[in-house]
Amino acid sequence: MTAETPRPGSRSLLIAGGGLPSLALALALKQAHGPALAVTVIDPGAADPARHRGRAYALAAGGRRMLERLGLWARVADAAEPIAEMVISDSRLADPVRPAFLTFGREADAERDDGEPFAHMIEAEPLAAALAEACRAAGVAIVAAGVVRALPEGAAIRAALTTGETLRGDLLVAADGARSRLREAARIGWVGWSYPQVGIVATIGHARPHEGRAFEHFLPAGPFAILPLRDGGPLGHRSSIVWTERSDDAEALLSGEPDEVLAEIERRFTLDLGTLALEHGPSRHPLAFGIARAFRAERLALLGDAAHVIHPIAGQGLNLGLADAAALAEAVTGALRLGLDPGSPDVLRAYERARRFDSFAMAAATDGLNRLFSNDALPLRLARDLGLGIVDRLPGLKRFFIGEAAAARDSRPRLMRGEAL
């Protein structure tokens, strides 16, 4: 057991789940409060960075500012590629060319006051490693176990672990992923469904540079995204693909030899990036929509995918989780600075108020986009083609794609604005 024993009079926070948003929350709070707050992350994978291998995420500007504020950006910048431009096409697989319906990046940058890129593609393994290392250095305890039960008991909550031990905290954060056992045990309702699609993720090596350009082809089976990674690998350049396919077809498409799988990828790729090679993957991920009916219960806060699961069409799930972490860190900090209980209903209400609308708006918008684009019906094709024309003219809608839609800049949590807690 590596959990630190809380000092008399100090407060204690338990986090079940060691995904990226959880580690960011643990680090932010430990940096802000030091020995006055014991922070323990509990995860059977003990936040092992290797399980993130081959994954890369579009990190919106708010998340990057948060990493910078936590002193992490300089450590992970080598694993991040700025997205200079995003090009979106609406086409069928057999179409010889895929004209762009919507492009943004350069003009979106021009709208910004600081000129920072609207997003970076960041590799998850180095990010997880840097977060875990910074957490340990700051004094966060990381425990290799699962939480099997949570029992609120007056002014505390007890977490029973798979090891047979019990930890006590003022607040337990349930960040145990989309199928959160703690959410269910707390009887928090869930509105959600599975999509008849899977997300296929792979790293593709290519001989020609991508020049920081990201592409998303809306094909009838779902979006096929090509996202620029830092140069490297045997061919010199790399991109990550997120390929949404009908679940019924995915098995056949992926069961062939690696060169057959690569040929399927090339059919969808269309870009001329020279010779292609499969460098990592493909891995398959079930896709679902879901949002919790409440983000809190007695001495319990839901965070990340435990609170909301969205389609990866706009690459925003992790960004929502980071915004949760920033908002919860702010609510807890507000209470601690006043000497108040960080697990009180007031703190949890403030957190829920800050996050629920934003999460619901993003979940509903991504669901609507997926329904609109993932089919081949002519009236819908016309409607969405007109829709894209409109999107191209409305900066507000573009901001949705770049992860800035739901909350006005000033109302976002301080860490997402790059400010101290």
Interaction site with ligand FAD (CB under 6 A): 16-22, 42-45, 57-58, 146-147, 175-177, 181, 199, 201, 242, 285, 304-305, 312, 315-319, 321
Report in angstroms how near the CB of residue 266 gets to ligand FAD at its nearest: 20
Report in angstroms how near the CB of residue 22 gets to ligand FAD at its nearest: 6
Which is closer to ligand FAD, CB of 38 or CB of 318? 318
Which is closer to ligand FAD, CB of 45 or CB of 233? 45
Which is closer to ligand FAD, CB of 60 or CB of 235? 60
Which is closer to ligand FAD, CB of 186 or CB of 335? 186
Report in angstroms how near the CB of residue 331 gets to ligand FAD at its nearest: 18
Which residue is closest to ligand FAD by CB? Answer: 19
Report in angstroms how near the CB of residue 59 gets to ligand FAD at its nearest: 7
Which is closer to ligand FAD, CB of 24 or CB of 138? 24
Which residues are 297's β-sheet partners?
Answer: 300
Which is closer to ligand FAD, CB of 321 or CB of 413? 321
Report in angstroms how near the CB of residue 407 gets to ligand FAD at its nearest: 15
Report in angstroms how near the CB of residue 366 gets to ligand FAD at its nearest: 10
> Is residue 87 within 8 Å of residue 214, measured between CB atoms?
yes
Report in angstroms how near the CB of residue 379 gets to ligand FAD at its nearest: 29
Which is closer to ligand FAD, CB of 45 or CB of 334? 45
